[in-house]
Amino acid sequence: MSRYGDRPRSPEEEAGPTMTSREDARLGDDLILSVVTGSRAYGLDTEGSDTDRRGIFVAPTQDFWRLAKPPTHREGPLPEQFSWEVERFCVLALAANPTVLECLWSPLVEVSTPYGERLLGLREAFVSRRAHRTFARYADDQFRRLDPAAPRWKQAMHMIRLLLSGLHLVRHGEPLVRMDGFRDRLLAVRRGERPWAEVDAWRISLNAELAATPSVLPAEPDQEQVEEFLMDVRRGHL
């Protein structure tokens, strides 16, 4: 199985802790936030589902003074674990990257330092009407990779899930991570129990809704607030 399954990926993928998992150094001592994403966060996990972890780490500020800059992301050390340096994460979130935005609304938080808590408190600053385009585009990318004659049903499920999440974001100001209300229908798609014509009709209907729904989101994200947070992080890691 692919490390990322068939869900959308980010570009890199193509006063203390709040949970005891923080005590496990394998998660990374420089993490300010680590969440579980993927099927377990969506409520779509089945027997044998992987545990996907996404995190945000902070590189020492002095490392940016060198010609060789710190990495913008890294994999591991745990299986299915991927983390972004905080600045890169903020850039992607401001651009309304669906994979990154959903991390801020994951119901399964394993690590959250004071900086992580502050980042979670800022999550509404990242969302904007850009999400109208990015969620639809990511779903369309999934669709274009599907072969109607032999669909990859897990990928088809995530395509629909992404449209449902984007539609909820446009209507309510936050992505829909937990898919409890759609679980049975989505898992039926994943198992290949729904004909392709039905799945495609659902996709077309959701796309039309997404295009026609007035957005409650601001035209632009609050970049000034995000930059203030990032500067505080840099000052705190001198």
pLDDT for 40 beyond 70: yes
Domains of the chain by residue range: 11-126+221-236, 130-212
Average pLDDT over residues 9-33: 55
Average pLDDT over residues 48-66: 96
The per-residue pLDDT for 34 is 97
Query: May I ask the CATH architecture of the domain 11-126+221-236?
Result: 2-Layer Sandwich (3.30)
pLDDT for 20 beyond 80: no
pLDDT for 21 beyond 80: no
Tokens of 196: 């392709």
For residue 86, give the nearest of 36, 109, 137, 120 by alpha carbon. Answer: 120
Examine residue 17 and say whether the peptide bond preceding it is cis (omega within 30 degrees of 0).
Answer: no
pTM of the predicted structure, to 2 decimals: 0.86
The per-residue pLDDT for 80 is 92
pLDDT for 67 beyond 50: yes
Question: What mean pLDDT value characterizes the chain?
Answer: 90
Average pLDDT over residues 166-189: 97
The angle at the Cα of 228, spanning 222 to 231, to the nearest 5 degrees, equals: 140
The per-residue pLDDT for 16 is 33
Q: Are 58 and 233 in contact (CB under 8 A)?
A: yes
Query: 28 versus 88: which is more confidently predicted?
Result: 88
